[in-house]
Amino acid sequence: MERSKIIFLLLICLFLNSKAQQTIPELQKFNNKALFNPNDTNCFNLKGEWIGEEIQYDATGSFIKVKFKVVFKLKQEGNRVYGTSFIQDKYRGSYGDMKIRGMVSGNKLFFEEYEIMNEKFFQLGVVWCLRSGEMNIKIDGTIITLDGLQYNGYASDSYMKCTDYAKMSVSKVFSPIKSGENENNQNKSDKIETKGVILEKLEVLVFPNPFIDETTISYELKESSKVRIDIYSLSGAYIQSTLNEQQTEGKQNVKIKLSSYAPGIYLVRLHVGNASSTKQIVKMK
């Protein structure tokens, strides 16, 4: 009888352990170094400090349960991203410091929080959820943000899924201009470092968008410049170069033909000198 109890307890332990092992790999996607390319210079550069918030809703998605302050401090090598994430309950002061890692592909950051470094709770019996999923990279003028809706949470003690519905958004932090700085330094404050170069304010229009076979990208050059227009899939895979030539000062209109490609979402990236701008375009049937 005693032996049967021991076997029964062992079976329970094995079952619980197997359940944990099934969920742990969900937070180990980016432990595989084969995913990374340290020489990738075409991806967005996300290194730096990001500040924003996460909002958790009830199951209906209509009632706000709690708001959190979120801070990312990211480093980057090619398409590999790593660093720390900080989350703090705005109402009750609880906080958690976590390690974060992931990769950039196309206009998305795929990420996972995988280790608690420091934490504090307002009550006992509460744990942080380690987040894992994807965030969209969005650029509007000189503002660059990471927005997340498609990510999951895993309890840091058991790795069981957290069920809260949440969304998160963080924006890149830039240092304010100090008095006495020269004009060149001031101009740098209006630029964003991305894909290894400086992204300036490039006013770019794409019309029509969505389109069927072809669309037109419009922009204005302040001076004669070398211009290149590249097309990528949404996952970041290079497709073709539509233009690669010297253009004169003034307004420019370049047609982009994708009649031979499948319907879907593509990225068009305009390079002007050492500046660039990326837009999403949608090809219809």
| Amino acid sitting at position 260 | S
pLDDT, tens only, 68-88:
999 999 999 988 999 999 999
Question: Mean pLDDT in the chain?
Answer: 77
| Half-sphere exposure of residue 141: CA atoms within 13 angstroms, side-chain side | 3
Q: Structure pTM? A: 0.56
Long-range (24+ apart) CB contacts under 8 A made by 78-82 are 78/36, 78/37, 78/38, 78/39, 78/40, 78/41, 78/43, 79/36, 79/37, 79/40, 79/43, 79/103, 79/104, 79/105, 80/35, 80/36, 80/37, 80/38, 81/46, 81/47, 81/109, 81/111
- CA dist., res. 30 & res. 132, Å (int): 10
Give the number of other CB atoms < 10 A from CB of residue 141.
13
pLDDT, tens only, 113-137:
988 999 888 777 778 888 888 898 8
Are the C-beta atoms of residues 85 and 72 closer than 8 Å to each other? Answer: yes
pLDDT, tens only, 43-59:
788 888 999 999 888 77
Q: Which domains does the chain have, with CATH numbers?
A: 30-172 (2.40.160), 202-283 (2.60.40.2550)
Biggest alpha carbon distance in the chain?
90
Which token pair is 245?
A: 């030539």
DSSP letter at 16? H
